[in-house]
Amino acid sequence: MALVTTKEMFAKALKSDYAVGAFNVNNMEIIQGIVDAAKAENAPLILQVSAGARKYARSAYLMKLVEAAIIDSGLDIALHLDHGEDFEICKKCVDDGFTSVMIDGSKHEFKENIEITKRVVEYAHAHGVVVEAELGKLAGIEDNINVDARSATFTIPEEAAEFVEKTGVDSLAIAIGTSHGAYKFKGEPYLDYERLKEIHKLIPDTPLVLHGASSVLTEFVDKCNAYGGDIPGAQGVPEEMIREATKYGICKVNIDTDLRLAMTAEVRKFIAENPKEFDPRKYLAPGRDAIQAMVQHKIKNVLNASNQR
Ligand code: G3H
Ligand code: 13P
Ligand code: ZN
């Protein structure tokens, strides 16, 4: 049991049609729920920390909580920086002991993205840490109106091949129609599988990463709304579409929004039904259980990763 890189996890996943779940963590209950789920499913696990998570929980707390999770569970876990925006934050996380960092240079021009990514790769590899980069821009809901405008932001397969060759990056996040948050599509959900297959064909040895992979399940949105929430018109990527993507080189699937919805639904329900309670443990415990149930469901039914540890 240790903090591990994603190298072996991805090498194994690349040969098969399952993906490793990468779940965002922000506090103890979320970490416990996810880790207990991975243990119950005997699945490989990536815990990822965003800049927002570092700001909220503070890095030292998150590091120690993940170390505690490893001791408590006996699992190997990869600790990953999600959407590092520049070299400095990636360096900081490498120095702190993360085993994997993402440099998200997707907002930059192609050449600049290569330069920034290369710099992070050089530093991270020298310290035994692996790197994920991103090419193409995740579509926002406003881009959904115009299919041409939207596909202009998708990852170009030939560029992906050139990018990987020039940067030496370990894995690549691609844009094929997903986006972050609870509002992914206005009309019919759509993922560009042909583009994904082409990318996978050109760089078959590079593990691909799917961000924005939450499905925004109606049951949980409805439960939030039934207990005082106001989340109208939310829509995610149907789970069978994520499952399909794992067949074409997607080795890492990022899920955050679905965990937020699951936890919030249960916390709202508890508080609404128990107005006299004010012990945070009373409502955080069902929130933590909801995270565990959601992660087990994802690992088993969406990522196909049960017993792949
Ligand atoms: O990609 C975004 C993740 O869901 C993290 O979100 O930046 O609010 O922590 P956050
Ligand atoms: P969701 O918002 O779809 O959960 O995506 C999370 C993500 O991509 C984190 O990097
Ligand atoms: Zn993301």
Q: Ligand 2 mean position to 20 CA, how many Å?
A: 14
What pLDDT score was predicted for residue 151?
75
Q: Ligand 2 mean position to 259 CA, how many Å?
A: 10
The pLDDT tens digits of the residues spanning 115-152 come to: 999 999 999 999 999 999 999 999 777 655 566 677 78
Catalytic residue among 36, 72, 76, 82: 82
Ligand 2 atom nearest 260 alpha carbon: 4
Note if 17 is an active site residue. Answer: no
The pLDDT tens digits of the residues spanning 268-282 come to: 999 999 999 999 999
**Nearest-CA residue for atom 3 of ligand 2:** 212
Ligand 2 atom nearest 256 alpha carbon: 4
Tell me how far CA of residue 224 lies from CA of 184, 268, 297, in angstroms. Answer: 18, 7, 19
Find the ligand nearest to 213 CA: 2
Q: What angle do CA 11, 13, 18 make, to 5 degrees?
A: 175
- Scan for tokens 């094929």, then name that residue: 176
How large is the average pLDDT for residues 92-117?
A: 98
The pLDDT tens digits of the residues spanning 246-269 come to: 999 999 999 999 999 999 999 999
pTM, 2 dp: 0.97
Residue type, 206: T
What pLDDT score was predicted for residue 120?
99
Find the ligand nearest to 242 CA: 2
Question: Does 207 score more than 80 pLDDT?
Answer: yes
How large is the average pLDDT for residues 192-197?
A: 98
Q: Ligand 1 mean position to 286 CA, how many Å?
A: 22
Would you say how long the chain is, in residues? Answer: 309
Find the ligand nearest to 234 CA: 2
Any atom of ligand 2 within 6 Å of the Cβ of 92: no
Ligand 2 atom nearest 257 alpha carbon: 4
What percentage of the chain exceeds 70 in pLDDT? 97
Ligand 2 atom nearest 214 alpha carbon: 3
**Nearest-CA residue for atom 10 of ligand 1:** 52
The pLDDT tens digits of the residues spanning 24-46 come to: 999 999 999 999 999 999 999 99
How large is the average pLDDT for residues 102-108?
A: 97
Q: Ligand 1 mean position to 172 CA, how many Å?
A: 18
What pLDDT score was predicted for residue 208?
98
What pLDDT score was predicted for residue 264?
98
Q: What is the residue-averaged pLDDT of the chain?
A: 96
